[in-house]
Amino acid sequence: MFNNVEIYSKSNCLYCDKAKNYFTQNNISFVEHNVETPEVFDTLMNRNPNARTMPQIFIDNELIGGYTDLEDWLQNNKD
């Protein structure tokens, strides 16, 4: 269910922290990308041109969305 998790985040972002905490507390490894780096921001914009908020979460290269989208996704994808 969680083979490849990527989180695009930025500093001082409550929902970014919540997402990272969820994965950490559930022993799910993830790769964090800081969008404050211009190259990372450009990559995110190529992957999701509609991204306007952080975090932006991808699981197995599928865009999940932000933290509340993650909560909905988890609810709908229970084992």
Residue ranges of the domains in the chain? Answer: 5-76
Q: Could you tell me what percentage of the chain is helix, strand and coil, using 3-state DSSP and rounding each to the nearest 5?
A: 40, 20, 40
C-alpha distances (whole Å) from 44 to each of 24, 49, 56, 75, 77 are 22, 7, 8, 25, 24
**What pLDDT score was predicted for residue 3?**
86
Classify 79 as helix, strand or coil.
coil
Regions in the chain scoring below 50 on pLDDT? none
CA distance 26 to 74: 12
Q: What are phi and psi of 43, to 5 degrees?
A: -60, -45
Look over the chain and give the mean of its residue pLDDT values, rounded to a whole number.
95
Which of the following CATH numbers is that of domain 5-76: 3.40.190.10, 3.30.450.20, 3.40.50.300, 3.40.30.10?
A: 3.40.30.10
**What pLDDT score was predicted for residue 16?**
98
Hunting for tokens 């933290």 — which residue is that? 67
**What pLDDT score was predicted for residue 78?**
78
